[in-house]
Amino acid sequence: MRRGARQSQIINNFFSLATIILVTIVLVLYVKYIRVDEARINSGLECQKDFNTSDEIISQKLLNIQNKLISQGKFILDGGLIQRLEFRSNIKSKIRISQIDKYFLNELNVFNSPSSSYFVRIKYDFIENEDFENDYVSRLEVSFRINAKESFKMKTDIMSYKKEDIKNRINCVIKAFKQNVTRY
């Protein structure tokens, strides 16, 4: 009988050991140096903690440009009301687009003059709640766009059609927009 292992077994064991060492090194380096950021739900403002709110930054560069244009008054408001499909809707009797536009203008605190061909479109929609099991009556979805390119969007629940509740939600949207401009 021969003592020792065959040549092919030695080579096979060597490559198995080398593979295990390489995989271990890669895993250690990945865990140590490559971090996976947690999913960002919202900007972390107090007004966002009170209600179900989410926001998303799509383009930081466009967001900074939009802030400059808004401060110069180069924006337009584009609002809409989306009614329930299955049940009787009462959103149009409770909310007026002209009144919501005034709330936005008061929060932005800038005279609106979109005379330029380059302006920000602040698009907002009130979507009436279809599901009666939820606590909110509608959802406000707002997006900030330049030339149909979106940079920031936010969704928040409206608990009632009272003026103060709607003003607070719009105030929260503008605060989140400005917070994300100055943060980065």
Q: pLDDT of 24-53, one tens digit each?
A: 999 998 888 876 666 566 667 777 777 788
Tell me the pLDDT band of 1, cut-offs 50, 70 and 90: very low
Which candidate, 165, 154, 175, places its Cα nearest to that of 42? Answer: 154
Instruction: Lowest mean pLDDT of 44-48, 163-167, 168-172, name the range.
Output: 44-48
Q: What whole-number distance in Å separates Cα of residue 153 and Cα of residue 155?
A: 7
Model's pTM, two decimal places? 0.72
Which candidate, 110, 96, 95, 98, places its Cα nearest to that of 174? Answer: 110
Domain spans, the chain: 1-36, 46-183
- Is residue 5 predicted with pLDDT exceeding 70? no
φ/ψ bin of 95: left (φ > 0), alpha (ψ from -120 to 50), beta (otherwise): beta
Whose structure tokens read 């337009």?
A: 76
- Proportion of the chain above pLDDT 70, given as a percent: 89
> What mean pLDDT comes out for the span 90-99?
85
- Is residue 183 predicted with pLDDT exceeding 60? no
For residue 170, how many other CB atoms are within 10 A of its CB?
21
Which tens digits make up the pLDDT trace of 124-162? 998 887 777 677 788 899 999 988 888 889 998 888 888
For residue 87, how many other CB atoms are within 10 A of its CB?
11
Per CATH, the architecture of 46-183 is what? Answer: 2-Layer Sandwich (3.30)
pLDDT value for 20: 95
Provide the residue type at 26 as one letter. Answer: V
